[in-house]
Amino acid sequence: MEKLLCPSMMCANYRNLEKEVNDLIEAGVDIFHIDIMDGQFVPNFGMGLQDVEYICKASTIPVDAHLMIENPDQYLDSFVTPQTAFITVHREACVHLHRTIQNIHAKGIKAGVAINPATPVSSLECILEDVDLVLVMS
């Protein structure tokens, strides 16, 4: 099993994002985990497209765009960058999860699926062979 160091950028100091990115690169991170929240699927707002673009321009480190948003299929193309290694979507936000995973793979990107704490892990049994990453929220 491959082990990667993937810090969440949600906790970054936005007033000094460039320094945060550089410090994490120096620390040897493998992937920047970027939480994208729309205020609908989850009650908070998180990083957005402009933050993904900034981090990707400031670094060559791959990113995991974790889409905690309604209708993620509508926005997949927006998060495709040369540094996008993963796009992670929520089981609960996808009407046709298998199709969403296929759409992500068709873009040449690894697909992740996340589940909320109340969602049974067994709900992923039908998709496990098709995903590259599973994220269980806590």
Is the pLDDT confidence value at 107 over 90? yes
Query: How many whole angstroms separate alpha carbon 5 and alpha carbon 98?
Result: 27
pLDDT cut 90: percent of the chain above it:
65
DSSP 81-124: -TTEEEEEEEGGG-TTHHHHHHHHHHTT-EEEEEE-TTS-GGGG
Is-contact 87 109, C-beta < 8 A? Answer: yes
What average pLDDT does the structure give for the chain?
Answer: 91
Is-contact 132 86, C-beta < 8 A? Answer: yes
1 — pLDDT class (breaks 50, 70, 90): low
Is-contact 130 98, C-beta < 8 A? Answer: yes
Is the pLDDT confidence value at 127 over 90? yes
136 — pLDDT class (breaks 50, 70, 90): very high
Is the pLDDT confidence value at 93 over 80? yes
Q: Which of 43-47, 62-66, 73-77, 88-92 has the lowest mean pLDDT?
A: 43-47
In this predicted structure, what is the pLDDT of residue 82?
93
55 CB-near residues (< 8 Å, 6+ apart): 9, 17, 21, 32, 34, 63, 83
DSSP 47-79: B-HHHHHHHHHH--S-EEEEEESSSGGGGGGGG
Query: How many whole angstroms separate alpha carbon 3 and alpha carbon 121?
Result: 21
